[in-house]
Amino acid sequence: AGLGEIRIRDLNDEINKLLREKGHWEYRIKELGGPDYARIGPKMLDHEGKEVPGNRGYKYFGAAKDLPGVRELFEKEPLPPPRKTRAELMKDIDAEYYGYRDEDDGILEPLEQEHEKKVIAEAVEKWKMEREARLARGEEEEEENIYAVHEEESDEEGGKEREGEDGQQKFIAHVPVPTQQEIEEALVRRKKMELLQKYASETLLAQSEEAKTLLGL
């Protein structure tokens, strides 16, 4: 390490140059039918018995491993933090996570009420201004009763209006309502079909269907 950075780099480059020449000779020996020393040869170890570190075929020996920029090449990256399991993540999820306790602090609710009053006041003021403008133009009309049911609309929808003895409207049916007799007949037919499907054989069912077809039922 006392040789200095420049001298250490020069010596390390010279060693790698000799290693490349050695590799060429090993490749030539293999071409001539000799053993493959690159595969069966011993590994290069340092004085600690560890394999000599390298990067893209370039090896670093001795003090060259501690040169600036070289140590960072062989430092192991820190392991990533372990991922939390689904059960661990669910521990932190409660009512507050979903915002159900936002109003418990006593701050949000008064702010919302104040904003609501402001919005309502602005809407009322706008309606008054529009109403005064219509009055000034003589365009005031009687306010429409949104709860009233017009006779034309009920007739178009097939509704039936029923009135009591005092002539007051009770309710309006907008769909055809079956009578009690029709409901009882439908229940009887349904019960017959359930019993037939439960106890009749497949042959009897087929004969029944054929008879219905012949009778046009």
pLDDT one-digit tens code per residue, 119-162: 999 999 999 998 888 888 876 555 556 556 555 554 544 444 44
The pLDDT assigned to 14 comes to 93
Q: Of 74, 102, 126, at which residue does a domain stop?
A: 74
Residue 55, domain member (yes or no): yes
Residues 87-116 have a mean pLDDT of 81
Classify residue 176: in a domain, yes or no: no
Closest C-alpha to 63, from 117, 106, 104, 8: 8
In a domain, 129, yes or no: no
In whole angstroms, what is the distance from residue 172 CA to residue 161 CA?
Answer: 5
Q: Confidence class of residue 63 from pLDDT cuts 50, 70 and 90? A: confident
| Domains in the chain, number | 2
Q: Which domain holds residue 198?
A: 182-215
Within a domain: 141 = no
pTM of structure: 0.32
Whether 39 is in a domain gets the answer: yes
Inside any domain, residue 151: no
Among 45, 74, 103, residue at a domain's last position: 74
Look at residues 28, 46, 74 and tell me which one is the last residue of a structural domain.
Answer: 74
